[in-house]
Structure formats: structure tokens, C-alpha cells
Amino acid sequence: MSERPDGPLPDGVVRRQFPGDDEPRLATRGEPVYGEPVEDGWRRWDATRSKLGATFEKGLDTGLEDGDAVLYLGAANGTTVSHVADFAGPTYAVEFAPRPTRDLVGVAEDRPNLFPLLKDARKPANYAHVVESDLDAVVQDVATRGQARVALENRRFLADDGRLVAAIKARSEDVTKDPRAVFDRVLNELREGYEILDTARLEPFHEDHLALVATPKR
């Protein structure tokens, strides 16, 4: 487990003091999306509303860099993927629920590098013709049963040295089990196709979530 505040950030993600905050917060440069404060073009990235934001706050080395080509799974209405598209290169955003995808399309209007895809992340063959291969990163936040399987199915898009940056929600797998047992099971399943580089629980930002960084197993 990792507890390292101030871990590495992509250049396009900064820590910045916003009025009313007791300490600097993450921020990216872009058009606002969810009512977040903006100062000098920097939008505050609310880690309590974003598992990836919390992953950065917990100090994990995600390996994410400016200009990366990213596949984002579970984009919902675009809260987190909007921040990703602010610093990344081409950002393919998969979401299977039509309603949030409508909002996501609006978020993409200001971001020419953001490509919303109304698709099921368990069926990557349905978007393989659109998403480029050899991606730098797959970012996953699907909060559904079978989270390891989703990550394994989408490994095909990653470059050999690419990264999986995933948030695993224990309750989506099994509400009755101790989250630690759920995380162990998910990590073991992931090891079929990935080498796990680092993990961290996302409390106090998100209860019973595990963030992980992994790379395709050779």
C-alpha cells in the first residue's frame, strides 16, 4: 500500500490554492464542467468527486503524462474525463448509459481531443475500430461487477509499457464481503494479464475503493 502525498503529476495537472480552501488543490486548465471554481483558467479538480483525482492525492505514480493517448472506461457525465482531456492527447471516453453520455457529448464540444463512445466496456470489439492501439493509458472507473474482467478485456489497447490506472469499488463486486477480501480477489484476477505496480485505498475521498496502477504482463 502506498501513502505518499505529493506524488508525481502530469505537467498539465498542478496544485493550486483556491479561495476558501485550507490547502492547495489539484487543477487542470480547461472549460468548467461541474460548477467547480476556476481561477486564471485553472479548474479545481475535486478529488471527492473523482477517483482519479483521489489517486493523485494519495500520491500514486500513475505514469500519466501530458499528451498521452488514453482510453477512459466509465466516463459517466464527464467529471473526471474532462480533467484528463485537459492534459492528455486523444482521450476515448466509453460510457454505456445514454443519459450521462448526452452530457459527455456537451463536455466534448469544448475539447476536440475528447471522443465520447456510447459503448459497453465489456465488449471492446465494438469500439476497436475507433480506438487506436498502443495507448499510453487505460483509466477505469466502471463501478460494476467484474471490474477485473473489464480491465483484462481492454488490455489489448495498451502499449507494452502502457499503464492501467483503475479504481475498484468493493461494493460493486460483493456487498457482503470485507472489502480487503474483494480487493485481493480482484488483484489476483488482474494478474492474469497485468503486473500490479502500486495500490492505495482511496479513503477519505472515497469509501471502500482501491486505486491501482498496473502494466501489461509480458
- The answer to the question of whether 143 is labelled as a binding residue is yes
Q: Does 74 bind ligand SAM (CB under 6 A)?
A: yes
CA distance 30 to 33: 9
Closer to ligand SAM by CB, 28 or 80: give it: 80
Closer to ligand SAM by CB, 17 or 148: give it: 148
Supply 172's cell numbers.
460493486
CA distance 75 to 54: 16
Closer to ligand SAM by CB, 121 or 211: give it: 121
- The alpha carbon dihedral of 30, 107, 110, 60 has a sign of positive
Query: Minimum Å distance from CB 151 to ligand SAM?
Result: 11
Q: Exposed, middle or buried by CB within 10 Å (0-12, 13-18, 19+), for 59? A: middle
Query: Minimum Å distance from CB 116 to ligand SAM?
Result: 11
Q: How many CB atoms lie within 10 A of CB 50?
A: 24
Sheet holding 91-95, edge to edge: 114-118, 91-95, 70-73, 135-140, 158-169, 209-216, 194-201
- The answer to the question of whether 148 is labelled as a binding residue is no
Taking CB under 6 A as the criterion, which residues in 97-126 touch ligand SAM?
Answer: 97, 100, 120-122
Helices (H), the chain: 51-57, 79-87, 98-109, 147-153, 170-173, 179-190
Closer to ligand SAM by CB, 2 or 144: give it: 144
- The answer to the question of whether 80 is labelled as a binding residue is yes
Query: Minimum Å distance from CB 186 to ligand SAM?
Result: 15
- The answer to the question of whether 120 is labelled as a binding residue is yes
Q: Does 50 bind ligand SAM (CB under 6 A)?
A: yes
Q: Does 143 bind ligand SAM (CB under 6 A)?
A: yes
Closer to ligand SAM by CB, 40 or 125: give it: 125
Task: Extract the annotated binding site.
Answer: 79-80, 95-96, 120-121, 141-144
Binding site for ligand SAM (CB under 6 A): 50-51, 74-76, 79-80, 94-97, 100, 120-122, 141-144
